[in-house]
Structure 1
Amino acid sequence: MRALLVVNPKATTTSGRTRDVLTHALRSELKLEVAVTGYRGHAGDLARAAAADGSMDLVVALGGDGTVNEVVNGLLAHGPSEKLPRLAVVPGGSTNVFARALGLPNDPVDATGVLLDALDSGRQREISLGKAMTDGLPDRWFTFTAGLGFDAGVVGRVEEQRRSGRRSTHALYVREALRHYVTEREHRKNGPVTLEIPGRAPQSGLVMSIVSNTSPWTFLGNRPVLPSPSASFETDLDVFGITRMTAFGTARTIRQILRPHTPSEQPGKQPGPTGKHVVSYHDVRHFTLVSQEPVPFQVDGDHLGDRSRVSFTGVRRALRVIV
């Protein structure tokens, strides 16, 4: 099998020696080419070329969720197709939400062992993905989440800290979330974002809007964060929002999204956070988030600047993944 290994040399949790060991293990089973990324977007360029020339059967992303997202967007530059190379992931970032949502070990060596076993047994799955669309800008595929508003603002603050030399850790995310909560006092009371779903009344006043393609949305260490517990790679998209972020209400919602959820006994009721200011929808194919003013936007934990209007669609069976 012909394979391209896309390596992010700045991956948080893998050393050069570890990457060499993983490369050697993969090369023992694959006709492997190795490409090391050198700039933002390089992983996407490499995957796009592999999909266009038909030279590869498999593209393996070794890095964090940002590297995986770039590879996915490169593979799907011209949309889903049966002819596309399959995707495999070796986690090397600080959180690795996508890999862990697929059930892969968080350790890159263990994950490589699972990948080799899956290749040997022909194990793969077709997964749904989300696509975010903004007029005048390229569409952006996402594997596990997107957001417009408060959560994306936290991602932006973390990226600023990382550019100044801070290491990406869960503590850094928590600290920046608390700081963002303090500075966003006005928006916490009256959010600028409106959710528009065809056939439903618009839901306005959203402070936070999280779109999930799977669950968990992210992790705090080994603890999953579950704003939309029913989201999965077999359905369309889930939407979770908050219309008012009071200290008591926000603490209550955080407790809810950090605890395991069991299926509801009420017909038609999805598990997950509840409350006066909580908005939740499951398995939605198309919808739009509209803001009264430009607000931060993120996909798969990558801050993409401010947006005023983003449309979303869920795409079933968009990509084949080796698991």
Structure 2
Amino acid sequence: MRALLVVNPAATTTSARTRDVLIHALASEMKLEAVTTEYRGHARDLGRRAADSDDIDLVVALGGDGTVNEVVNGLLHKGPDPEGLPSLAVVPGGSTNVFARALGIPNDAVEATGAILDALAGRSERTVGLGLAAGTPGTADEAVPERWFTFCAGLGFDAGVLGRVEQKRERGKRSTHPLYVRQVLRQFLEEPHRRNGLITLDVPGRDPVTDLALSIVCNTAPWTYLGNRPMYAAPKASFDTGLDILGLKRLTTAAVARYATQLLTSSPEKGPHGKHAVSLHDLTDFTLHSKAPLPFQMDGDHLGLRTSVTFTGVRRALRVIV
């Protein structure tokens, strides 16, 4: 077996020494080429190269959810072809690693490498569904290219939080869970559309849902983690179905306190709910429109402002080693 290992040197939870140990372990079991990413989008370019190659059987992503997202978008640059494309393996190296953990992969990089080698020996793999999104930017007339996401996307509040986190990281702050919590509070205090949301959800064959202040699209559950605590925005979401969405119409102080408590105590059986909560399961196609440009994110990566985003749930899009 020939494999390409894509290494993000900025992965927050792995040291250079750990990465060397992982590379040695993988190279002992396969013909391995290890490439360290050097710029934003490099992992996507490497995934594209692997997809176009005739002799790469496996791509291993060592990094966080952003690295995995780039690799996936490179692998699927011509569309899904589970049998024809290299399979994907993930060694978690980020601060949260939602995609890997949702697949049951250990959150420790060394343990995850051992699990991957065991899975390869046992020919254990899973074909997962993914989300695909295309949007209209908030500041130009050109359409934004389609982009795949593995576990979540969001238009509005949560994307604004991620934008704030990225600004802090650019100034040298480490990506930690306390940093995220602080930015949630600041985003809430400065959110101008807490009471009257700007977002409309259009699902074919259904009445539009208007005035959403928050919209979270999930491809799996949990939605994210706070430390080791999983949080379920859409408990029914699964890699085996279409996309789920949670929308909230109010972000008043009382509403946020209620929904935050529900998220912190959520489970695979129960997520946020109430008078101003909208939950839809197993959607194939839908669109989110906004009356004004709002922040947009996919897989925890802030992508700028959007006024409209169309989503497609694609079943059985990619083979993953688990």
Equivalent position of 1:129 in the other structure? 130
Measured in 2, the distance between the counterparts of 1:167 and 1:285 equals 37
Partner of 1:15: 15
Q: Does 1:110 align with 2:111?
A: yes
Q: How far off its partner does 1:296 sit?
A: 0.1
Q: Which residue number in structure 1 is paired with residue 262 of structure 2?
A: 256
Q: Deviations over 1:292-319 (max 9, x none)?
A: 0110000000000000000000000000
**Identity over the aligned pairs, expressed in percent?**
64
CA shift at 1:261, angstroms? Answer: 3.2
Report deviation, 1:322: 0.1
Please tell me the residue identity of whatever aligns with 2:243: L
5 Å matches for 1:216-295? 216-261=222-267, 263=269, 271-295=270-294
Output the CA distance in 1 between the equivalents of 2:174 and 2:108: 19
Say if 2:299 is the partner of 1:319: no
Instruction: Give deviations 1:162-197, integer Å, cap 9, x for gaps.
Output: 00000000000000000000001x300111111000
1:231 & 1:252 partners in 2: Cα distance? 22
Report Cα offsets for 1:262-321 as digits up to 9, x if no partner.
Answer: 64xxxxxxx422111111101111000000011000000000000000000000000000
Find the counterpart in structure 2 of residue 299 from structure 1. Answer: 298
The AA in structure 2 aligned to 1:182 is: L
Structure 2 Cα separation of the partners of residues 54 and 242 of structure 1 = 47
The one of 143, 146, 151 aligned to 2:153: 146
Q: Could you say which residue in structure 2 is the equivalent of 1:33? A: 33
C-alpha separation between the residues in 2 aligned to 1:262 and 1:111? 23
Q: How many angstroms apart in 2 are the aligned matches of 1:183 and 1:238?
A: 28
Normalised to the residue count of structure 2, the TM-score between the two structures is: 0.96
Deviation per CA, 1:100-124: give whole Å up to 9, x if none.
Answer: 0000111000000100000000000
Task: Please give the residue correspondences for 1:72-221 in structure 2 after superposition, counting only pairs within 5 Å.
Answer: 72-81=72-81, 82-135=83-136, 136-184=143-191, 186-221=192-227
Q: Which runs of 5+ in 2 are unaligned?
A: 137-142
Task: Give unmatched runs, 5+ long, in structure 1.
Answer: 264-270
Per-residue CA distance 1:244-267 (angstroms, 9 max, x = gap): 11112211111112224364xxxx
Hey, what's the Cα distance between the residues in 1 that align with 2:288 and 2:135? 10
